[in-house]
Structure 1
Amino acid sequence: MNFGWGRPNVVWAIYSSPLGGPIYPKPFNLASPANGGVVTFAPYNFRWRPTSDPNGDPLTYRIRIFKTPLDSLIYDATTTDTTITYPGYLGPSTTYRWYVSAIDPGSHERESRDRFTFVTSSSSGVDITPPATPGVVLYPSRPNPVQSSAVIPFAITGASQGDIARVTLRIFNSQGRLVRTLMENEAETLPAVRAPKWDGKNEKGQRVGSGIYYYRLTVSGRDTSRRMVVLR
């Protein structure tokens, strides 16, 4: 039916007609990590195809990541971008499932057409979870020895859910000289799990030489340190 106005735009009618009930964002697809793919080292970047709202309203994307086989939710976050970096650390040889929803200002939510699963490699690292009691756990760098780059995972639990901690992470050489600052007095809502990446370079962007290095995590004024080796 075109009411004498020429050929109707069926897609426009479906998404824009007030007679059809709520107007939802248009369908969209996930991009990466690919369905059935293998993920190795952090950072873990998730990407999806952009979509739009028929009314032209801005959209918010909500990503959810689940750990199988129990399908436990490990990450639930929102962004206005079409990519997000998972701030935690994924365990080795584990299957995860993820999908994204597009949400308009009226809270109309459309899930992505697909739900992807991926597997982490056997060398992806260790499971990192916040300590059961208030405290800080600083893990060994992955990998160690370091040849090109590494991630430095840590986990923090506060006295109460939602506590804020100030976090600094620095790398020093064997003489105690500062090599690189990865985090500087950043506010973290607890409990927190992070795995910052070091590209093997100093503050000037130069690759560091082989040797022994130390990384120091400072959480609200308290220091924790570990050693790592760089082999070029």
Structure 2
Amino acid sequence: GYDDPRRISAGEYTITHPTGGSISLFTTVRAVYANSNERLTRSVFDHLFQPVDGKMPTIGEILIESKNANAADTAGTNARKFTLLGDPALRLAIPSYGARTVKVNGKSVDAAKLDTLKALSKVEIEGEIIDANGNLVSGFNGKIYPTIYDKAITLKTLAQDKGSSERTFTLQKSVIFKGLASVDNGRFKFSFVVPKDINYAFGNGKISYYAQDGSHTDAGGAFSNIMVGGTNREGLDDGKGPDIELFMDDESFVYGGITDRNPTLLVKLSDENGINVIGNSIGHDLTAVLDQDLQGTILLNDFYESAQDDYTSGMVNYPLSNLAPGSHSLLVKAWDVANNSNEMLIEFVVVDESDNGLRHVLNYPNPFSHNTCFQFEHQLQDLDLDIKVEILTPSGRIVKVLEQSVKASGFLSRDVKWDGTDEFGDPLGNGIYIYRVTVTTEDARGRILKNTSDLEKLVILR
């Protein structure tokens, strides 16, 4: 607590946590009161985003102004019961530049009437990066992340505390589209198809922007004067669900392969009309089901990211954790914006961390004429591997040794290739040969790990 060094509060943990948490904490040191707290909170947000003399104020300056904004609260000590845990000289990382919408479907936003964003209609947005004076920043080149929201909805508090009453508030949370587009010389343009699952009532949506140029310069902005609602009776609908590709950890993964206990599910999605991640309609979410556990269905909507300059495709990276060793399955279901669906299943094997053996050792193609590739699965992700493949005759004479050092980026290695020649570069004759794979590495504790596969067969057939 604030006055008791023997106790650490939850707030203090967020400040002192070594791998994450809060940059600072504006918190109470004594009992405070709701009405005064509301006035103080509103005052903080009034000052939080207002530049002073052309630059953003420090956190300390924001809180000084906020605590003194309401004389009654200051005199009554309520505001004095709040303290700052953090650096008062810190400035929030608010973008240096603005992002402005210029055109919607080719029409200037200054036009008397903009096109309405209707369900299943294709929309094109154009915009630009601007400075504090509203001038184009022509030297800004990078990426912009636009998020298009449906209309705000009205919600109520739960009023679950004794004596509390319901309070209504509005929230704009339903995402119509979340994309990624290029910014060239300060200008950007992107397209998308409005999902069928929007709220068909007419009202103002919102476009929110965040952009960065790769050199620690960023921009942000929003545009709310855009109507969302209704439906396009001639809207786009091909009657086909999205194409789905599934991998674990990286795209070299093969169906039934191995992972550690904390793998990442990778989902590649594509559909000519775009992917539905709006979350407005029951049953139309982007989901994953682990081991047929329908009650534990995983929602992937918030993990979907569109490809750059391409609303028709995108990617999900979803981290799984603490899976039990053994066989597992994941069933992913996706919908396009016209509510056509598709499913795809992937199976994988979680291997215990103590199991450093080589699995699924093979060469492909086999038989081969001129070239083959040796592959195997392992539990040595992110380590430097020294790989040795020894090729022998059936009588046990070594005719070729292949050696290669690689950095393991995943759990599957396909790094060693062979052209069927011996140590002198001469082609080996047709027939059956035997090989074994040995992998040597050093783990994080400095231990040398060496694993050798069983003997496998290959066939040369020219």
TM-score, length-scaled by structure 1: 0.45
**Larger relative contact order (CA 8 Å, sep ≥ 6):** 1
Higher share in helix: 2
TM-score, length-scaled by structure 2: 0.26
Structure number with greater Rg is 2
